[in-house]
Amino acid sequence: MHGAMKKSLGIYIHIPFCIKKCAYCDFLSMPATLEVQKEYVEALIREIESYKTDAKYYEVQTIYFGGGTPSILEAGHIEHILNAIYDVFQVQNKELLEITLEVNPGTVTMEKWMSYKMFGINRISMGLQSTDNDELQVLGRIHTYEEFLNSFKMAREVGFYNINVDVMSALPGQTLENYKKSLENVVNLSPEHISSYSLIVEEGTRFWEDYREGGKMFHLLPDEETERKMYLLTKEVLEKSGYSRYEISNYAKNGMESKHNSSYWTGVPYIGIGVGASSYLDNQRYQNKRDIKQYILYAGFREKRICDIEVLSKEDMISEFMFLGLRRMCGVSKKEFFKRFQISMEEVYGDLLRELAEQKLLIYEDEKIYLTDYGIDVSNYVFSKFLL
């Protein structure tokens, strides 16, 4: 990697700690003592420092603290991590830097909110999932809707004006009416960004156990027709309220799209710091060890810390460019495709694009290709077609 042009970079920091694991969660997360949290933060800093040689080729545009529940950590730990990033990496302009922190309602005091603001965090992502307390209990969330409202209000009071709220549909026992009420309650708070996901029962979760054994959870899931109605309702309610859908599951007010998430869909390199975190750098995808003891032990040594390395071929990169890019409502650009791969999109995908356009799954324009509403509904099918 030579030349003076620095590449854009996103940094993801994985904080795996939770007070209690939610019933639907398949992320790498666990409860931990303050001692383990402190050890882990020290390991994160060693990992950040291990990037000293690479860092000079990049300019950090976004930092994202995800989890687990990053807001469990003492505020000072977040500050240490940010300072380590600034010591090692180059930041073009702190004013333009997007720093997101995922927050679980009920884990943040006014003091913490004020600290976050002071450290320069400027985007908050709050996991709400539902405004119905019974549904929250079914999901195994540690907070009530009232606690969420209290956290949201505090964030606003401290001066956070870029807040995302996560909402989930197709929950056990959830009716269309209930889901609509959740959406409307969230819209009334007027956050800048809303992410809406349909519940997927993932292997290895508490829900999966129940599902596999044909337990009550299995019988309470909404049927496909109701799930589809919820999906259509999301777009209807949010667009009517001034949110534009810019990616399959993400809606934002004008200009408030998440820069960090957008970088994943546009192929910007990113480094994942922390246990089990994935990185994408120099056309390689790799992952840190998933065992926290091992991770803490080897955090500073890249060869020992990493467990899976995948070198992407040109075909892999072309496929990814298409199916990640098509997740976005603005779609993919033919010009960008040619610039990146030195071959025209027609040459690689001409027949497929015409076929999918005929099936009304995508719009095939002079410069842009993007999914139709029908294409979005069956997006996984469409994406699978682009695998080379």
| SS3 per residue for 228-295 | HHHHHHHHHHHHHCCCEEEECCEEECCCCCCHHHHHHHCCCCEEEECCCCEEEECCEEEEECCCHHHH
pLDDT at 308: 86
The SS3 of residue 362 is strand
Q: What band does 1 get if pLDDT is binned at 50, 70 and 90?
A: very low
Q: Across-strand partners of 328?
A: 247
| Long-range pairs of 27-33 with CB within 8 A, sequence gap ≥ 24 | 27/67, 27/68, 28/68, 28/275, 28/276, 28/290, 29/67, 29/68, 29/69, 30/68, 30/292
Percent of the chain with pLDDT over 70: 90
pLDDT of residue 93: 83
Beta strands 332-333 and 368-371, pairing class? antiparallel
Helix (H) or strand (E) holding 364: strand 362-364
pTM of the model: 0.93
pLDDT of amino acid 92: 74
Per-residue pLDDT band for 271 (boundaries 50, 70, 90) equals very high
- How far apart are the C-alpha atoms of 234 and 313, rounded to whole Å? 37
| 243, burial (CB in 10 Å: exposed 0-12, middle 13-18, buried 19+) | buried
Mean pLDDT (the chain) is 90
Using alpha carbons, list the distances in angstroms from residue 271 to 51, 113, 121: 9, 26, 19
Interatomic CA distance for residues 256 and 164, integer angstroms:
9
Q: What is the pLDDT of residues 153-162, one digit of tens each?
A: 999 999 999 9
Asked whether residue 23 carries a pLDDT value surpassing 80, the answer given is no
Indicate whether 200 pLDDT > 80: no
Higher pLDDT, 199 or 367: 367
Q: Which residue has the higher pLDDT, 192 or 219?
A: 192
* Mean pLDDT value of segment 236-249: 96
> Residue 364: what pLDDT?
86
* pLDDT on residue 138: 79
Cα Rg, the chain, nearest whole Å = 21
How confident is the model at residue 18, as a pLDDT?
78
Ordered domains of the chain (ranges, CATH)? 7-265 (3.20.20.70), 314-384 (1.10.10.920)
Q: Which helix (H) or strand (E) holds 166?
A: strand 163-169
CB 93 within 8 Å of CB 133: no
Q: Convert the pLDDT of each residue in 66-119 to its tens digit.
A: 988 999 999 999 999 999 999 999 997 888 899 999 999 989 999 999 999 999
Question: For residue 275, what are its two tokens?
Answer: 């246990």
59: pLDDT strictly greater than 60: yes
Report whether pLDDT(152) > 80: yes
Mean pLDDT of 233-240: 96
Helix (H, G, I), strand (E, B) or coil at 127: strand
